[in-house]
Every structure is written in C-alpha cells, then in structure tokens.
Amino acid sequence: MIPEQLNGKRIFLTGATGFVGTALVERLLRSVSDCELVLLVRGGRRSSPERRVEREVLRNDAFDRLREELGKDRFGHETQRRITTVGGDVSRDGLGLDDAGRAALASCDTVIHSAATVAFDAPLDRAVEVNLLGPTRVVETMRSLGVKPHLVSVSTCYVAGNRRGSAPEERVENSPYFVEVDWRGEVSAARRTRDDVEAQSRTPEMLDRFHADARDALGAAGVPLLADRTEANRCAWVADRLVEAGKARAASLGWPDAYAYTKAFGEVALLEHRGDIPVTIVRPSIIESALAEPRPGWIRGFRMAEPIILSFARGLLKEFPGVPEGIVDVIPVDLVVAAICAVAARGPELEPSIIQVASGSTNPLRYRRLVDLVSEWFSENPLYDSNDQPIVVPEWTFPGRGRVQKQLERATTWLGRAEKAVTALPIRGRQAEISAEIEERRQEAERALGYVELYGAYSECEALYGVENLLALHESVPAQDREVFDFDPSSIDWDSYVRDIHLPSVVHHGRVRTSPGGRRGPTREQRLRAQVLSADRHIAAFDLENTLIASNVVASYAWLATRRLPTDERLRFVAKTLLEVPTLLALDRRDRSDFLRHFYRRYDGAPAGQVDRDSVEMFSDLILAKSFPAAIRRVREHRSLGHRTVLITGALDFVVDPLRPLFDDIVCAEMSREGDTYTGELLSVPPTAEARAQVLGDYAAAEGLRLSESVAYADSSSDLPMLEAVGFPVAVNPEPRLAAIARKRGWLVEYFDKAPGMTTRTLPLAPRPNRRRRTSARRRSA
Amino acid sequence: MTSRPGYVLDVDRSTPPVLFHHGEGFRLEKLPAGRSRVIYPPEPLPGLDDPDAAIRRALLEPIDSEPLPALLWSGMKLTIAFDDLSLPLPKMRRPDIRQRVIEQVLDMAAEAGVDDVHLIAALALHRRMTEAELRHAVGDRVYDAFAPRGLLYNLDAEDPEGMVLLGTTDQGEEVELNRRAAESDLVVYVNINLVAMDGGWKSTATGLSGYRGLRHHHNVRTLRNSRSFMDQDRSELHRSNWRQGEVIRKAGVKVFQIETTLNNDLFGNGPMGTLAKREWEWTVRDRATFLAMRAGVDRAPASLRRKVFQAWEAPYELTSVQAGEVEAVHRVTTENVYRQQLVAVQGQTDILALGIPYVCPYNVNSIMNPVLVMSTGLGYFFNLHRGKPLVREGGVLIVSHPTPWEFHPVHHPSYIDFFEQVLADTTDPVEMEKKYERRFAEDEWYIHLYRTSYAYHGVHPFYMWYWGCWALQHLGGVIVVGGDPKAVRRLGFKPASTLQDALEMASDIVGRQPTITYFKVPPIMMADVS
C-alpha cells in the first residue's frame, strides 16, 4: 500500500513551487498521513524560501480541499509539522545548501527532483545550468554527504527527440538516434556562448542601438529612465540570443527545443555521476490539468496548450500547424503525481529504471479529435469580444508549419512597421489609442508566432512513447491503491476530459469573457478613478501642456510676441515660426529642457512690464480658451479633498501666474531679468523629465508627504519619471508612447477635451490692443 | 412709414409653414390647422428723426429733476454708469445709443468744468467687457480719452475695496453698491430699455451691485413670485429692487437716470429683412433669399456660422429718450416699451411653441450653451407677457434649438461645472439653491476668473436656472425640438427630432387635440393675455 510504504518517510523535494511539485506536496500531505517533506526552495528577491512556500505553494487552490478537510487551524498545524523548508538553488554547486539544509537532505529517505526550467524558450545557459546540471548536482551533493536515498528524477518523454515511431523507456544514449556528443562540451559551450553574447551586447554599436530603441519607446524621458530601459533592452537582447542559440543547438542534434535537449543530457550526466545512488527517472509527456486530484481541472500557471487554445477561441490563431492524425500526447498532472508517488513507495530497483508517463501508445488523443472537441466546445460556449459579440471560432485546416509561420511573420513585420509609423505621428488622446491597438495586435501575432515556433515542433512530433514499465508498476500496486493513486493512461476518457474538465478550467484561468455584458460593479476605470480621488491621497501633481491646456510654450510665445506687432510683421513672424517648426520639434524630442532653454532665449530683451501685463490678457485669450474644463475641475476636486495640488511645468512664471489661485503651489521655469527686461536665461533647471520627478520628490519630502500616496497627471513619455515616482499615475490624453506604457501598466487614462464648440488656432496670434475700427459706422448705416 | 401692430394669426389649411429661429439656423414648420395660432410682433415703430436733439432735450428738460447742467459743477465727482453688453440684442450698429448719450453728458460735464469723471460698465455679475466691446458701446473717442487713464472700466463686484454696503431695506435686504458710485456727487445712469424688465432702480440696484445685494432678489422665492418679471406691477423682483433703490436714495446717492427705448428693427431692409416678414406675405424673392440663407447656414461650419451671426449688428432706431428721476422716468420708458412690444392675445393655450435664436443677453460674442437655452426659453420668452402666461398651467412648452453640449471656456467656466455637477444631481431650483449656490458663489477660482478674465460670476448659472423656475413650476412638460438629446435630458427636458414628434409627445400631457400657440420671437414682443 502506497500510503503505508511512505508513512514515516522523509522526502526531499525540489521544484515545489512548480506545477508538478505543488501537486506532489498536496498529494503527499493529503494522501499519506505521516510522511515528512523537506522542500528545497530558492529565495526570491524579496521573499525568503519559507515565505515562498507559504505564498506560492500552500496558498495555491490545490490545497483548498485539504484545508477544508482539516480545517484552517489543523491545516496550519499539520503543514508546519510536516514541512521543512530549506533554502537552496539547483543551479548552484552543492545546491546552495547551508549546513542545516545539508543535514536535512542527509536525513531523507527519498529525493524527488522535479525542479526544472520548463519554459520552452529558456535561454540556453540557464537551461543547461538547471536542467542539464541540476540532477547531477543533486547526486553530487548526496555523495558528498555520504548518503544514498532513492532519487526520483523527473524528466520528460521528449528526451527521445524528434522521431517517428516508438520511443521505449530506455536510456537516452541507448537510442539508435542519439548523436554521440559529450555533455561536458555542451555545458562549456553554453557558458562560452553566454560570455560571447554578453561581450557582443556591450559593443558601442549595440549599445547605441539599445539606446535608440529605448528612446523610441520612451521619448525624451530623461537620462536615468533611458539608461534603465537601455540596460533592460540589452539584457532582453542577450536573452533572445541565448534562446535562439538554445533552439538552434537543440534542433541541430534532433530535439524539438532547448528544454528537451538539456533534459536529455541531464539524464545522461545524472546516470554517469550517480555512483551507487539508486535512481529512477520518471518521464511525463505534456502535463495538463488534473483529471480528478485534488479536483478535476486543477492547473497551475499557464501550461503549454492553454495559450494556444485561448488564442484559437479568441479568433487570434486562425491556423495551427499539425497533422490531423497525429497524436497529442497529453497526460493529466494527477496521473504523473500518482506515478511518482508509486515509484517513491516502491523504492529503487537494482539498475536505474526509467518510467514514461504518457498516453499516446495506450490511449491516443488524435490531433483532429482535439481540434474538433475544442471547436465544438467554443461554438457552444463562445468567448465574447469587447463589443459583447460572441467570437466565432475559425475553421482549422491543418496547414503545414512553414505556411503558418510565414503568414504570421509577415503580419508581425507589417504591424511592427505600422506601429513605428503611428508612434512618430503627432497625435494624442483617443487617436493615440490606435497605436496601442496596433501594438496589441502585433503582440498577439508575435505570441501566435511564438506558439507556432515553439509548439509546432511538438505537434509534429510523431513518437509513440512506450509505457511498459509504467503499466508494470501499475500492475504491481494493490487494487485499492489504484483507485486513489491512478496512473493508468487508458483510464482517461478524452472527450469528457477535454469538454468537461480541461476547457472549463482553461477558460476559468484565462479570465476571458464568457458572457456578454453582465459586467457587475464599477469598471476598472471607475475603480482607478476612485483610488485617485480617495481622501487618503497626499499630493496631486499636474503637468500643464496637454494635461490642463491644449497649448504649449511655442503658442504662448507666439501670442506674446505678436501682441504688439503690426499686420505685415505678423505675417513675417508666422512664416518664420512655421519654418522653424521641424527644428523645434526635433529638439523637443531629443531633450525637453534643452529645447526650453534654447527656445526661451527668444525672450532676451523683452520688456518685462509689458510682457507681464500682456500675459494677463493671454490667460483669457489663449490659456483658458484652450483649457480642458474637466482637467481644471479635477484639480479643484483634488483640492477640495484636501490634497496638496501642485503644478509642475516647464512653462514660464509669467505665463502660469494667473493659474496660481487654482493650485496650492506652482513650480515652473523662472526667467531672470535685468532691470525691466527679460534676459532669456532661466534661473534654474526647468522642471522636465527626471528633474520633474526630483522636484516633486523634494516637495513631498519638505512637506512631509508621501509620493506613494500621491497622484500625478501628465501626457507625455517625457513625464515618465514623475509618473513612475508616484503611487497613482494618470496618463492624460497620452501620446502614443505613453498610451502604450499606460495600457501595459494598467494606469488610469483620462481623456480631457477642450470645451466643445471652441475653434482651434494652430499658431495663436494675439488680438492687438488700442485698435480703432476702421470703417465708419455712420457711413455703413447710411 | 406706418408700422402695423402685432397680430394673431389663426392657422388654417392655407397657412404656409412658419419660420422658427433655431440657434444659428432656422426651421420652417407647418402647424396643425384649426387649433394653432401664430403671434406676430408689431412692426418696427418709426425712429426719432434727430436722436441727438432728442437726447439733448431729455437732458435739458428732465422729468422730476433739475436739468443735467444744473447738477454739474467744477470739482464734483461724477460717475457715468452704463448698461453692459447684454443690451441691446443683437448689438446695434454704430454709433451705439450709449455712445450718443455719454458723449452729450460728457460735453455738458466739460462745459461745467467737471474733471473727476469715471465711466463704469454696470455689469453686476456678468462678464467683463473686452476692449473691443467697450469701444463699441461708448465709441472710440470716449474710450481713448478715459480708458488709458483707468477712468473707464468694468465694475468689479468682488473687489472688497470697491464695494460698499449702503444699508438694508425694511425687509432686511442688503443694498450693495459700487464705492465710486456711492461716493459720487452724481451718478448718471445710461440705460437701454430693451425689455420691460430693464431699467428703473434695477439699473443701479442690480447693475452696480454684487452677490451680497443680488441674492436678495435673484433667488427662487422672489422669481417664483414674479409673475412675470417682465411685468413690473406683478414682479417681486422689481419690488425688491425698488426697495433697494429707496435705500440708495436715502443714503444720499443722487442718480440721474437716462433711459432709452429702441424700435424692434433687428434685420433692416436688406436680405435679412425676410426674417421679420410674416410668412404668407413672402414674395418669391423672399423665399429664394430664405432658401439661400438656410442652405448657406446649413453648410457652413459651426464656428463660421457663429461668427457670422454674432457679427450681425441691428439697425435699431431710437424711439424715445427720457431722463431725470429714476421712477418717474421709468414709468414713461415702460409705456414706450409697451408701445412697440405689446400684442393683445385672447386666452391661454395648451402648448406654447418658441424658436430660440442664436443669442441671449449672456452669450454675446459667445456660445449659447444648454443652460442659456433653458433660461431664454423658460426665463425670458416664457415671461414675455402681461396678465396671464400664454400657456395654461400644466401646459407644454416646446422650444426649438440645437442645444449643443457646448460651452465657452472663458466666458462660462462655472456653467460647465454647473452642467456637469449640479444638473447631473438635480434640476430642482430649490434644491440646488440650498445645496450648491453658495459654494459656487464664493468659489475663489470663479471669483478670480470673474475679476481678471472674462467669466460670468460663479453664481450666474444658478440665476439663469432660477430665471426659469416659475415656468418649471407652471408647465406640465418641456420638449426641445432638434436638440442634442443628451444635453436636453441633462436639462430635465424631453428631446424630439421634429415639431410633429414634439406635438405627439405633448399629447401625453395635454390630450389629443390641444391648442397650440406659436409666439414668434425675435423681434421681442410682449403678449397682453386676457
């Protein structure tokens, strides 16, 4: 009996935070009343291993059943009694264990190694460190401790590589298709590749490119943010290269991807190093949601088939490569867990044994059947689009991989170009949404392409995984165990599994819309707005241009400069200014504060008194006329809630002076004067980009207020530092770049409009004062 | 030229479609025969042959007062206050009548050696007039002589230094006045009496006052008891103003009131003249003109349309001018207003139909926003009667106006918030008065905009709503034809796309065969309902 055999045992487990690992912990706790578990868990950046176990394992809904059976208190007590957590890392020599951890490992009877990087697109070196070297490190550590517990190492059926026909439960190197390669060479080559790619990414040309890409994405967001993004781009590029290197190396040796390839060599290395440690290798095929335990449909994270199924249901993925009569070798997670438990209970055999947990050879699910089931199910239970219309699932034509890939590649390229073009357009607000839409489409296409590339290989893999050892093991367990620990693949009824268990679970996890309308409670936007307007907020900081008013420094300069100009000079002024527009725009895009300094030079020699007086008129004629009433109302709303309202702008003091009564404080650019003339030079760095975040931070610190409790409104990616600095950023009429960023990060986006009915002037010229009407009225009426 | 009096036409099968003003546009509507009538305004009275001479005579031979020159002396403080840009509507061709009057007053002052003269636009809580608007009202000569020295300016009723409290009436109403006027030896008030509501003590007690004084009569209680506020004898609004005038007089402020009346010639004899003609008298040429005009209007972009309409200047002529003691002068003035505007109408109607034009007193050179549509229909036009209202209690008012969701951000900032916040919460005047009025009236931002920019005071939209509060109480329903449905619903009214639909909708309230009266303004007239 499995529970009796495992009772009183201490089991060391790696990979507890993973899909199989979590299910294993749950199973062992629930079905074996008295075994102890030692979990090897990596510490996160912010959380300890213990905390990760608590949050990422025990709080998973897999444990709902056990928690219910035991009651909350006993559950806590039981898990505390039976689980020991040790910090460590399978990608480090000695598993990164401290003395207590080593002692804990030494005290165990069984070790289940299920830690792996299952991402099918892991970077090569990472996959090598974890998948290839991980199992070896486990046995090396055990040997260094002088202990010999039974090691159950979880691998994958796909170590057999791309092949047609039967793939029996045999060692990798015994396969007739195995290419003789030394795994040590693979390890050092992978590490060297990492070094090479890192070096390559640091060449000036590449760094320039990363910087240019950062600027494309963020605009003039200031040096610190751009540096941040540049480095992120570099790391992403390195990772991409290594993913590609992994794919290429795997393909060159006949594996569908780096995962299977590193797992395969991981087995070879393990068996080479195990010494006299008893080892059993368990190789599941594609693990999917649970058939029955802990409950039908339980799944953790998004697995392999889900994204594809959902993309199909959403109508995104119109075609997916595959052979209709091909076999999709899927195995529910509880069968895998039961098999591992059975292996652990049985104990080691004399020779290292290999057990494949797969369905293809005894109870095959054909690709066509799967597609039919999915189509039928979504025809009956369609997803809904944002307009509450049911989405019609596409007809699947089983095309070849090449064709689909080419189509998707073409779409991705075109959407990428369109996105670039739109981003460069001087649009904002609702219009800019289009870029976000294109971006979303492109990402969808890219994702689909990713699936096709990654999983296409699997769907075309026509190997039949032998399960003789599995069935023998199944035969060997007592009949009553077979009920509880079922791992017979032929017990799966695919139709009911797909229809009643798997698809509902996928849809549930995908958080997709399964009914029209029916949105209850406040929308996301309303919730965000309520947070922004909560009395708990401290500061509400506002940008000026395009956040409060549809105007800019050029417009106000044009107004002030033309106020006293006679008609012919006005024309000359307009012509001159229009000619300068491209230069000014380019400068503005490069660096906001350089642009302001450069532009404000024009005020050199301006009569201060007159400019100040004219600014008062400009307030009505330009600023208010182009203001967004809803934005002004929002400022006042914040103020009435007791928030400190601050205007932070690169506009000049005399321009924003009439706005003082609206705000508690105004931080703006101040121009120095000599006597009664302005000098065209600023007294301090204009508050733009990172300086703006700095100003806000200083302000908050001086007033004893918290940025994390503050709100900031801005329209452009050059305001990113300020938006990122506060807890509640609001993108107002965002330009395409900011629209994309806001969407990704789930920020509140507000569309404030000019008062309806107002006409716009591109270059506002001031009405001239002291002008008599030329026509004599008396003559006209005569 | 003889001018025909107003006329009530009973609509029969042969009556052609009648013209409705519809914002910056027009509609031609066929009214149901047999139960509809159209009230046409009287034709323009002939103007005075020599306006300047008439003005001079009025100043030299005032009513119940010494002649103006006798009131002027060297070393005195003289303040000339004048009606703001809300009068007349539309603005009149140059020279504006205020210019003519002020020039003569100034001439006499100069002769008397008066050198301390201030000119104040008596705008109360209206928006400040721009330089161009002031130039239009007083003329370039006056403007250039006074404005640069700071002697010609807009009233600032929120200037704590600039306003004084003169006392309270026997009913506890505070009386606030501009300090300069209060401390002057003589206040000369230059009025244009466009409707019967204007003039009298309302000129000074309202025009030179602020929120402290106005709130005693610009409120729901007073306006519900002013039936109508166009009819001084039945108007609590006027009684309150007259009580305040009494306090002004007792405080020793000497007011020399100059009141003028204009004829109702809005459109002249040119192509626009068609708009003033009675439809069954339209010639082929009139028809063609109208069709061309309407086609042009329909095709023009909204901003151009607004510009063209707002630029229109009417060729009004002066029909009377009288000066002297406020109340005595105003009695004469009112008679002169009635002479031009009164139309005798027999009995009330179930449905009153109105076409709202592009302008009202509060959107000169600006946008007629939905709140102003309400105020013009239910305030101004509904109240243009003596005796009983044109429409019976529980009857329906149908107004025609596009009612776009548009606001002037400079002129009407508090209206935007009023529309977005107050009306979204309640359309009940009593409730909004209680809940919101003070907050808007004392709002620093609105006060800032009123004082330094060109914004109507924060409380002004409330006054506009109160203007219509009696009608809201009296009517069984209001339907807006051709309006933006969202904006119309926000006002608490029902939108209809055609007059036929509106009549159909009204039948729920007034039955299947209601009587309909179309009150064809502008030009402005006053129904004398018996």
Q: What would the pLDDT profile of B180-194 be if each residue is shown by its tens digit?
A: 999 999 999 999 999
Cα A530 from Cα B325, distance rounded (Å)? 60
- In the predicted structure, residue A286 carries a pLDDT above the cut 90: no
Lowest-confidence pick of A539-548, A667-676, A757-766, B110-119: A757-766
> To probe the interface with B, which of A549, A615, A620 has the most B CB atoms within 10 Å?
A620
As a whole number, the mean pLDDT across chain B is 95
B498: tokens are 């055609």
Task: Give B505's strand partners.
Answer: none
Is the N-terminal amide bond of A734 cis, ω within 30° of 0? no
Which 8-state DSSP code applies to residue A121?
A: T
- Domain A2-179+254-285+329-359+466-487 is classified in which CATH homologous superfamily? NAD(P)-binding Rossmann-like Domain (3.40.50.720)
* More confident of the two residues B172 and A744: B172
- In the predicted structure, residue A319 carries a pLDDT above the cut 80: no
Cα A162 from Cα A176, distance rounded (Å)? 12
A547–chain B Cβ distance below 8 A for any pair: no
CB-CB under 8 Å, B448 with A754: no
In three-state secondary structure terms, A586 is: helix
Report pLDDT for A400. 67
pLDDT tens-digit series, residues A633-655: 999 999 999 999 999 998 999 99
User: Look-up: residue for tokens 């065969």?
Assistant: B513
CB-CB under 8 Å, B452 with A755: no
Report pLDDT for A778. 43
Give the pLDDT band of residue B216 (cuts 50, 70, 90). very high
Report pLDDT for A271. 86
Task: Give A755's strand partners.
Answer: none
Query: To the nearest whole angstrom, how far is the Cα of A625 from the nearest Cα of chain B?
Result: 6
Task: Give A648's strand partners.
Answer: A667
- Cα dihedral across residues B390, B396, B399, B400: positive or negative: negative
> To probe the interface with A, which of B94, B267, B444, B450 has the most A CB atoms within 10 Å?
B94
B216-235 average pLDDT score: 94
B247-266 average pLDDT score: 96
Tell me if B194 sits within 8 A of B320, measured CB to CB.
Answer: no
Q: What is the 3-state secondary structure (H, E, C) of A438-473?
A: HHHHHHHHHHHHHHHHHHHHHHCCCEEECCHHHHHH
A509: tokens are 């996890």
Which of A621, A612, A770, A600 minimizes the C-alpha distance to A685? A600
- In the predicted structure, residue A776 carries a pLDDT above the cut 50: no
pTM over 0.80: no
Which 8-state DSSP code applies to residue A488?
A: -
Report pLDDT for B383. 96
All residues of chain B having their beta carbon less than 8 Å from the beta carbon of residue A620 are 410, 453-454
Give the ipTM: 0.88
Quick one: which H or E segment has residue A646? strand A644-652
- In the predicted structure, residue A176 carries a pLDDT above the cut 80: no
Tell me if A517 sits within 8 A of A385, measured CB to CB.
Answer: no
A616–chain B Cβ distance below 8 A for any pair: yes
In three-state secondary structure terms, A55 is: helix
Which of A248, A375, A380 minimizes the C-alpha distance to A324? A375
Longest dimension (CA), chain B: 71
Q: Report the half-sphere exposure of A46 (CA within 13 A, side-chain side).
A: 1
Among the partner-chain residues A616, A633, A769, the one whose CB lies closest to the CB of B452 is A616
- In the predicted structure, residue B441 carries a pLDDT above the cut 70: yes
Lowest-confidence pick of B197-201, B254-258, B276-280: B276-280
Report pLDDT for A780. 39
Report pLDDT for A431. 67
Cα A516 from Cα A381, distance rounded (Å)? 11
Cα A478 from Cα A475, distance rounded (Å)? 8
Among the partner-chain residues A662, A756, A770, the one whose CB lies closest to the CB of B445 is A662
CB-CB under 8 Å, B303 with A777: no
Give the pLDDT band of residue A777 (cuts 50, 70, 90). very low
Is the N-terminal amide bond of B522 cis, ω within 30° of 0? yes
Report pLDDT for A432. 67
All residues of chain B having their beta carbon less than 8 Å from the beta carbon of residue A616 are 452
Report pLDDT for A125. 85
B313: tokens are 């200047």
Cα A502 from Cα A498, distance rounded (Å)? 5
A400–chain B Cβ distance below 8 A for any pair: no
Cα A341 from Cα A362, distance rounded (Å)? 21
Residues in chain A, how many?
A: 782
pLDDT tens-digit series, residues A543-572: 998 899 988 888 888 888 888 888 888 888
* Buried residues in B126-153 as b, exposed as e (16+ CB within 10 A): bbbbbeebbbbbbbbebbebbbeeeebb
Tell me if B413 sits within 8 A of A632, measured CB to CB.
Answer: yes
Give the pLDDT band of residue A511 (cuts 50, 70, 90). low
User: Which structural domains are found in chain B, ordered by start?
Assistant: 7-40+346-529 (3.90.226.30), 51-262 (3.40.50.11440)
Residue A545, C-beta contacts closer than 8 angstroms, at least 6 positions apart: A551, A552, A553, A649, A651, A715
CB-CB under 8 Å, B93 with A757: no
pLDDT tens-digit series, residues B109-166: 999 999 999 999 999 999 999 999 999 999 999 999 999 999 999 999 999 999 999 9
Tell me whether strands B349-355 and B516-519 are parallel, antiparallel or unpaired: parallel
Which of B170, B308, B159, B158 minimizes the C-alpha distance to B250? B170
CB-CB under 8 Å, B131 with A658: no
pLDDT tens-digit series, residues B505-528: 999 999 999 999 999 988 999 999
All residues of chain A having their beta carbon less than 8 Å from the beta carbon of residue B303 are 759
Tell me the CA distances in angstroms from B463 to B125, B200, B439, B466, one per residue in order.
Answer: 10, 20, 14, 5
Among the partner-chain residues B409, B410, B444, the one whose CB lies closest to the CB of A661 is B444
- In the predicted structure, residue A779 carries a pLDDT above the cut 50: no
- In the predicted structure, residue B426 carries a pLDDT above the cut 90: yes
CB-CB under 8 Å, A755 with B408: yes
As a whole number, the mean pLDDT across chain A is 83
Kindly list the residues of chain B whose beta carbon comes within 8 Å of any beta carbon in chain A.
93-95, 131-132, 135-136, 140, 144, 302-303, 306, 315, 367, 404-410, 413, 416-417, 420-421, 444-445, 448-449, 452-454
A687: left (phi over 0), alpha (psi -120 to 50) or beta: beta
Which long-range contacts link B440-447 to residues 24+ away (Cβ below 8 Å)?
B440/B414, B441/B211, B441/B215, B443/B414, B444/A661, B445/A632, B445/A636, B445/A661, B445/A662, B446/B413, B446/B414, B447/B158
Task: Give A94's strand partners.
Answer: none
Give the pLDDT band of residue A304 (cuts 50, 70, 90). low
Give the pLDDT band of residue B334 (cuts 50, 70, 90). very high
Which 8-state DSSP code applies to residue A767?
A: P
- In the predicted structure, residue A700 carries a pLDDT above the cut 70: yes
- Cα dihedral across residues A370, A371, A373, A378: positive or negative: positive
- In the predicted structure, residue A427 carries a pLDDT above the cut 70: no
Cα B397 from Cα B502, distance rounded (Å)? 10
3-state class percentages of chain B: helix first, strand second, coil last, to nearest 5: 40, 20, 40
Tell me if B413 sits within 8 A of B449, measured CB to CB.
Answer: yes
Report pLDDT for A315. 67
In three-state secondary structure terms, B400 is: strand
Domain ranges of chain A: 2-179+254-285+329-359+466-487, 303-322+362-462+489-520, 528-750
In three-state secondary structure terms, A382 is: coil
Task: Give B77's strand partners.
Answer: B116
User: Look-up: residue for tokens 């601050």?
Assistant: A646
Report pLDDT for A515. 65
CATH (residue range A528-750)? 3.40.50.1000
Quickly list DSSP for B86-135: TSSSSPBPSSPHHHHHHHHHHHHHHHTT--EEEEEEE-TTSPPPPHHHHH
B4: tokens are 């025909």
Residue B228, C-beta contacts closer than 8 angstroms, at least 6 positions apart: B234, B235, B382, B383, B384, B385, B386, B389, B470
Give the pLDDT band of residue A781 (cuts 50, 70, 90). very low
Residues in chain B, how many?
A: 530
Report pLDDT for B438. 96
pLDDT tens-digit series, residues A357-380: 888 888 888 888 888 888 888 777
Is the N-terminal amide bond of B90 cis, ω within 30° of 0? yes
Lowest-confidence pick of B23-27, B51-55, B213-217: B23-27
* Buried residues in B95-124 as b, exposed as e (16+ CB within 10 A): bbbbbbbbbbbbebbeebebeebbbbbbbb
B221: tokens are 């209680």
pLDDT tens-digit series, residues B129-142: 999 999 999 999 99
Residue B151, C-beta contacts closer than 8 angstroms, at least 6 positions apart: B117, B118, B119
Task: Give A357's strand partners.
Answer: A284
Same fold, A2-179+254-285+329-359+466-487 and A528-750: yes
In three-state secondary structure terms, A231 is: helix
Query: To the nearest whole angstrom, how far is the Cα of A780 from the nearest Cα of chain B?
Result: 9
- Phi/psi at A113 (nearest 5 deg)? -100, 105
Highest mean pLDDT among A36-45, A74-83, B499-508: B499-508
Lowest-confidence pick of A468-472, B182-186, B207-211, B327-331: A468-472
